[in-house]
Amino acid sequence: MDIANQKRMAADILKCGKNRVYMDTNRLEDISEAVTRGDIRRLIVSGAIRAKQKKGQSRGRGLFRAAQKKKGRRRGSAHRKGASNARFPKKRRWMERIRPIRAHLAQLRDNGTLDRSVYRVLYRQAKGGMFHNRSHLDTQLRLRGIVKGEVKPTRRAEQRRKRRRDAARSLIKASSLAVVEKKKKGKKAAEKKLEAARPEAEDKAERKEA
C-alpha cells in the first residue's frame, strides 16, 4: 500500500519532516483513500495522522550538574581551568570588599554619626585594607568608642567556640567521667547518712543532759 503521497501532504500541513509523520497502522485504508488536503486535515483532527515529538538533547544531566554546582560541589581541581585570580580576579574581589565599607562610611557621615575628619581617617584606613568587611568596621567603631553599643561575638565566632568546646569534651575518656559521677554519688550518699544521723545524736545528747 503506497501512502507516500499522503505522507508528503501530511508533512507539509503539519510543517515537519516526513520522518516525523506518524500514521496509525489500524487506519491505513482510510489514509490511502485520502486524496485531497482536506481529507488529510480531517485525518489529523481525528488522530489517525500526527507529528512525532522532536528528538532533542536532554537537559536532565545538565540541570543536575548545575544544581550540584549551586550547592558548592564539583569545584575540585579536576573541574577548574585557570588560576584562582583568573577565575575570580583580585580587582573584582577588592571591589566587592571595599564598596560596602565605603557606602557604610558615607551613610554614617551623612547621618552625623561621623565627623568629616574622622570619616576621612577611616576612609584612608579602609583603603589600606584595615577592615575586612562591614561587620568588622562596625566592631572597630564600637571598640574605639565612635559608635555606642556592646561588642557582641559574631555567629561564626560562637559556632567556632562551640566546636572547640565539643572537641575538648570528646577528648575526656568515658571511664574518667564515670569515676567522677561515682564520686559525686558517694558524696551525696554520705551527706544523706550524716543528715539522717544528726537527729539521733541530738536526741542522745538531750537524754544525757536530762
The cell for 114 is 561621623
C-beta contacts of 92-101 below 8 A and 24+ residues apart: 97/132, 97/133, 98/126, 98/127, 100/133, 100/134, 101/126, 101/131, 101/133, 101/134, 101/137
Tell the residue number behind the cell numbers 571511664, with chain if given. 175
**50 strand-pairing partners:** 22
The H or E element containing residue 21 is strand 21-23
SS3 for 192? helix
135-171 per-position pLDDT tens digit: 999 999 998 888 887 767 778 888 888 888 888 877 7
Using CA atoms, how far apart are residues 63 and 71, in angstroms rounded to an integer?
Answer: 13
Helices then strands, each counted (H, E), the chain: 10, 2
Torsions phi, psi of 35, nearest 5? -110, -40
Predicted confidence at residue 166, as pLDDT, reads 85
103-129 per-position pLDDT tens digit: 999 999 999 999 999 999 999 999 999
35-58 per-position pLDDT tens digit: 999 999 999 999 999 999 988 899
Burial bucket for residue 138 (CB in 10 Å: 0-12, 13-18, 19+): middle
Tell the residue number behind the cell numbers 562596625, with chain if given. 138
Q: How confident is the model at residue 201 (pLDDT cuts 50, 70, 90)?
A: low
Assess whether pLDDT exceeds 70 at residue 175. Answer: no
Q: What is the dihedral of CA 11, 12, 14, 19, to 10 degrees?
A: 20
Q: Average pLDDT, stretch 195-202? A: 71
Assess whether pLDDT exceeds 70 at residue 209. Answer: no
Q: Average pLDDT, stretch 73-99? A: 94
Predicted confidence at residue 147, as pLDDT, reads 85
The H or E element containing residue 179 is helix 174-209
Chain Cα centroid distance, residue 112: 38
> What does the mean pLDDT of the chain come to?
87
Tell the residue number behind the cell numbers 508528503, with chain if given. 8
Predicted confidence at residue 178, as pLDDT, reads 61
Q: Average pLDDT, stretch 17-27? A: 93
Predicted confidence at residue 210, as pLDDT, reads 59
Q: How confident is the model at residue 188 (pLDDT cuts 50, 70, 90)?
A: confident
